[in-house]
Amino acid sequence: MENYYAPLDAAFHALADPTRRAVVSRLTKGPAPVKELAEPFAMGLPSFMKHLRVLENDGLIRSKKIGRVRTCWVNAERLNAAEAWLSEQRALWQARTDRLADYVETHLSGSMDDAG
């Protein structure tokens, strides 16, 4: 089921929901069984399982059933890809605002010399 669309599409799609983000946050601290993951949420297990399936299909988490217990863990690679994309955008944006700040500073210090 995974990778039915581009990795970044999938990562951002999965993260566009507060329940799914909370599950990812919990799993960054270590693997957990479904029952424990579901506990903090005021929703039925079927609704919660839908969120887990979205997370797994979108590649942000992995799971394995051993006996009667399904355990989930985070797929750091997919999470890192999403962060890397956003960092890159911030770097571009930052470079632009830095150049703008340099320009303003040069211009302002020029004006102050003129005034002084």
Per CB under 8 A, residues contacting a second copy are 6, 8-10, 12-13, 15-18, 21, 24-25, 28-30, 74, 76, 79-80, 82-83, 85-87, 89-90, 92-93, 96-97
Q: Give the residue with the Cβ less far from a second copy, 101 or 111.
A: 101
Alpha carbon distance 54, 90 (integer Å): 28
Task: Please give the distance of CA 30 from its chain centroid, rounded to a whole number.
Answer: 16
User: What is the closest distance, in whole angstroms, from the C-beta atom of residue 10 to a second copy in the complex?
Assistant: 8
Alpha carbon distance 108, 102 (integer Å): 10
Residue with token string 């890809």:
81
Strands 61-66 and 69-74: antiparallel
Q: Give the residue with the Cβ less far from a second copy, 97 or 116.
A: 97
User: What is the closest distance, in whole angstroms, from the C-beta atom of residue 112 to a second copy in the complex?
Assistant: 27
User: What is the closest distance, in whole angstroms, from the C-beta atom of residue 8 to a second copy in the complex?
Assistant: 7
Residue with token string 């944006």:
93
Residue with token string 């983000």:
21
Q: Give the residue with the Cβ less far from a second copy, 30 or 67.
A: 30
